Chain A
Amino acid sequence: MRRAAGVGVLLLIVGCAARAAEPDPQAFSQIERGRYLAVAGDCVSCHTVPGSGTPFAGGRVIETPFGGIVAPNITPDLETGIGAWSDAEFDAALRKGVRRDGASLYPAMPYNAYTKMSRDDVQDLRAYLATVAPVKKWVTAKSLPFPYNHRSAMHLWNALYFTAGEYKPDPKQSSEWNRGAFLVEGPGHCGACHTPKTSLGGDKRSRYLQGSDIQGWFAPNITNDSRVGLGSWSKEDFVDYMMTGHNRITAATGPMAEAVSLSSSHLTNEDLEAISTYLQTVPGGQGAPQTLPADAPVMRAGAAIYRDQCSACHGLDGRGVTQLFPSVADSSMTRSNDPTTSIRIVLRGARSVATAAEPTAPGMPSYGWQLSDEQVAAVLTYIRNTWGGSAAVVPPRAVTKARLERAGRSD
């Protein structure tokens, strides 16, 4: 009997080595850690076609400035998913950006952030992904146009912008701060949207988390700058926003609505507080322009439009209604150097996110049919330079550009 058992074990080991790793399907703690990291990393967002009912089965086209990239199937299906991948292959994809066939991944897959996770973290993630429902679905990776169709070009990109290596805690900082930094830089990959990019799509590190263009929105500055960043947000403001999509100042909409819905609203309070602690130490100092005088013609025009069109919800004092109508007076988004998001919201309207804690999901109507480019520019210039704020004039041509760009998008 003992002999027979020994042969069995041997066969099992050989089997594993020859095929995929087979994570222990009862490793509860590991799977649970992996699930939490998958939530923090919001894997489900890119790897699921919205509304398809097949999470992680891939097929969603991720818009990048270089063209659309199709997210692959990461369910444990052996043929079409990642079921047959070895642990080492999975680790290489996540932390080094190397595809199973040895080619480079496009950095739309944020391996430059996931590299901050440890090998154990990544194996936890894999243990969790091995438990989700396998979906047989072939996903054809679209190639980007020349020159990006040469995946070898990614070697150059990696040399310029990618530093492999897991997160090293800063011993001078608290464990809370280090936890926050790990989540922001690692699984949360906040910089993917919030750090400005070079023409090659790499992070401008000197302007870390100072806001960036993304899919027709401006992902705002989330540093501690009090004018355009989160400097005036308390820890509670931050947790409210990430947990419920709403706080006393503003509401999540656009791509962040999805991030709140799928990811941040499922994180623990402690982790959200840790992220806040860390972000409040990230400098994002940007010189404030001079506030425009209230009697400047554009300000007077903007004031009149604001009173007519905006004040019913946002109030004559600009402060709105807490958790319902954003305070344009206090929102740093309205003062962003890049007014893309504000312009877009005025032109097209926006729907805030519904969460279990804040189910209302109030929406803002579209004014694109009603206000000219000059009027949109004037009312935004007014909002940006009133109630103690200051920001550059919004030129009407920026509205014209946003209107054209908007026309080519379904949303």
Chain B
Amino acid sequence: MARSLPKKDVVIIGLGWTGSILAHELTNAGLDVVALERGPWRDAPTDFPPSTMQDELRYRVRHELFLRPDQTTFTFRNKLSQTALPIRSWGAFMPPNGVGGGGVHWNAETWRFLPSDFVLKTHLTQRYGAAFLPKDMTIQDWGVTYDDLEPHYDRFEYLCGTSGTAGNLQGKLQEGGNPFEGARSRPYPTPAQSQPYSHTLFAKAARELGYKPFPQPSGNLSKSYTNPLGVRLGPCTYCGFCEWFGCANYSKASPQTTLLPVLIRKSNFALRDNSEVVRINTDASGKRAKSVTFVDTSGTEWEQPADLVILAAFSVFNVQMLLHSKIGQPYDPVGNTGVVGRNFTHQTISTANGFFDHNKFNFNPFIASGSIGMCIDEFNGDNFDHGPHGFVGGGYVGQVQTGARPIESTLTPPGTPKWGAAWKRAVRDNYLSTVKPGTGVHGSFYAYRDVYLDLDPTYQDRFGRPLMRMTIDLHDNEVKQNRFLTDKFAEVIKAMGAEQVVKQYRTAPYDVTQYQTTHLNGGAIMGTDPKTSVLNRYLQSWDVSNLFVLGASAFPQNAGYNPTGTVAALAFWAAEAIRTRYLKSPGPLVDA
């Protein structure tokens, strides 16, 4: 029997980016807010001090900051006909844990999606006809537009101090920025980061090929910055330890460096860490959430009643929470019924590595930041005519090499022995003169009828709850898209002067052991129709109106960009709807 705690106005499940944003906004509205976080409290100077953080073995190889799969994991399979097995060591993605969530370990690439991304189905159908799309592709419009979200993108960028060069200011194209981006109401808060040599060389080659390269928008700051909350960030030192690492140089935007210092001073905010929420409890009608149940590290069960529940965990855990709480109809791909778990997506990542003459090129590749890079957007979204190519979607490509940490930066050209003196010599000769962009091709991943999340029939967590089962594979559309993008990317690397270019296409089947990105999306998607979405356009549950579900689980499909900017913009958008509309008249904000 759970022990009951005093009722709060709001309970937030998960204190990452979206949980912190909602906590800040709703405490500002005068509400009494408690956040429940499965992992530990984390603070920049004490948990990832710059004196110990640059430890590739501890953080990158041994996954220090991430959820331990022995606490909970997912099962995985490619196809409906297969039996899924539990993931016992993270590979393709890295589920976060602890205060700050993925905002601690991200690279801080802070993109906006294209205006056409939000009306994808309508846009592609109008341009190419419905028959152009694969039959089992289940892409949808979002129910919000770029213009709806623009002020909220802006708020997030000014919270973070994002460094970049605007490409489109109020409809006027700007030299040096991304000419394809949606119109911005004002410039980035800080100028773009300086770019290292290989990144600069990529931009030069891209320009010569007729593209318009621009610096990747970065939450690692080019200069010191004070955000609108009065929290200060410092300039990035280009140490090259961003992704998978925390930053205590105060130069990577994270909840710790932008929001938490203000949030924890508020008397109407409380946090319980090491508290794992196991379900959301609804009343007898099933239409209203009344509390959440969580378990502390002693195994004690607690019930936290609240008027409003904000589900702000990592995307896959959001979907799992809905299924365990029996909120919304579970998706069934065979009968094509239900919604929870539907339109699960990831990202289509590949790269091309360039080997240069070490007598002529010294890139000092360890000088970098997580979101350093020069990119081109000619092949993203629908920025080009897909007609001749037979696929839809795309991505940005760029020299976005985020460092040259020693363990994983021992690339050698094809034909080099795998060990011995010749290998050592090749490593030495190539370390400074290899371009290794990591996620150089950052492609979209559209939704399909047979890519989804549901509850595993066999495997359970320590509470006896079924694990989340991922059924995911790459479809021909994405494979074609990736081949096209990787070839285009490799042309630029070649034009930089590489002696050898090694392309690493992304191919089917989807491989869960090889790292791509942590951009798992969908499963609790937003939309305009309760038959095909879990949430309305304000991220409010269609079924339980005092429940809002934040995060990338709301993406109907994934675009060719890193998701965090859009995740955060949606959080500000939902917070505004709660503040200005829901609190005045609690209930559905959109009629079903």
Contacts and interface: CB of A to CB of B under 8 A. Distances in A.
Interface of A: 309, 312-313, 321-325, 349, 351, 354, 356-367, 370
B230 A357 contact: yes
Contact of B234 (A325, A351, A357, A370): A325
A366 B49 contact: yes
A360 B51 contact: no
A349 B234 CA distance: 18
Given A321-B224, A365-B45, A366-B49, A359 B229 contact: yes
Contacts of A359: 229-231, 261-262, 265
The 3 A-B residue pairs with the shortest CB-CB distance in the complex, in nearest-first order:
A363-B45, A365-B49, A359-B261
29 contacts: A312-B237, A312-B239, A313-B50, A313-B234, A322-B224, A323-B232, A324-B233, A325-B234, A325-B250, A349-B49, A351-B46, A357-B230, A358-B232, A360-B230, A360-B250, A361-B261, A362-B232, A363-B44, A363-B45, A363-B46, A365-B49, A365-B50, A365-B51, A365-B52, A365-B248, A366-B49, A366-B51, A367-B51, A370-B51
Given A324-B250, A362-B45, A365-B51, 7 more contacts: A322-B224, A349-B49, A354-B265, A359-B229, A359-B265, A365-B49, A365-B50
Contacts of A364: 45
Contact of B51 (A309, A322, A357, A362): A309
B91 interface: no
Contacts of A356: 265
Contacts of A365: 45, 49-52, 248
Contacts of B229: 359
Contacts of A312: 50, 237, 239, 249
Nearest to B238: A312
Nearest to A312: B237
Interface string B218-243: 00000010100111111101010000
Interface in B26-52: 43-46, 49-52
Consensus secondary structure, chain B interface: loop
A324 B50 contact: no
Interface extent on B, as a size class? 20 to 34
A243 to B, nearest CB: 13
A351 B248 CA distance: 12
Nearest to B231: A360
Interface string B3-37: 00000000000000000000000000000000000
B369 to A, nearest CB: 13
B261 A313 contact: no
Given A312-B50, A313-B50, A360 B232 contact: yes
Most chain B CB within a 10 A radius of its CB, from A349, A356, A359, A363:
A359
Most chain A CB within a 10 A radius of its CB, from B232, B237, B248:
B232
A260 B44 CA distance: 22
A274 B143 CA distance: 60
A227 B231 CA distance: 31
A360 B239 contact: no
A101 to B, nearest CB: 40
A313 B53 CA distance: 14
Interface string B193-227: 00000000000000000000000000000001010
A362 B250 contact: yes
Contacts of B232: 321, 323-324, 358, 360, 362
A358 B229 CA distance: 9
A366 B51 CA distance: 8
Nearest to B44: A363
Contacts of B261: 354, 359-361
Contacts of A349: 45, 49
A309 B52 CA distance: 11
Contacts of B224: 321-322, 324
Nearest to A368: B51
Contacts of B233: 324
Most chain A CB within a 10 A radius of its CB, from B44, B51, B237:
B51
Contacts of B262: 359
Nearest to B233: A324
Contacts of B235: 321
Nearest to A350: B45
B234 A324 contact: yes
A356 B235 CA distance: 23
Contacts of A321: 224, 232, 234-235
A359 B229 CA distance: 9
Contacts of A313: 50, 234, 249
A309 B50 CA distance: 9
Contacts of B239: 312
Contacts of A309: 51
B230 A358 contact: yes
A307 to B, nearest CB: 12
A374 B340 CA distance: 62
A321 to B, nearest CB: 5
A251 B231 CA distance: 15
B86 to A, nearest CB: 37
Nearest to B235: A321
Interface in B253-269: 261-262, 265
A325 B45 CA distance: 12
A351 B49 CA distance: 12
A164 to B, nearest CB: 42
Given A324-B224, A360-B231, A367-B51, A351 B237 contact: no
Contacts of A370: 51
A323 B45 CA distance: 16
Contacts of B249: 312-313
Nearest to A322: B224
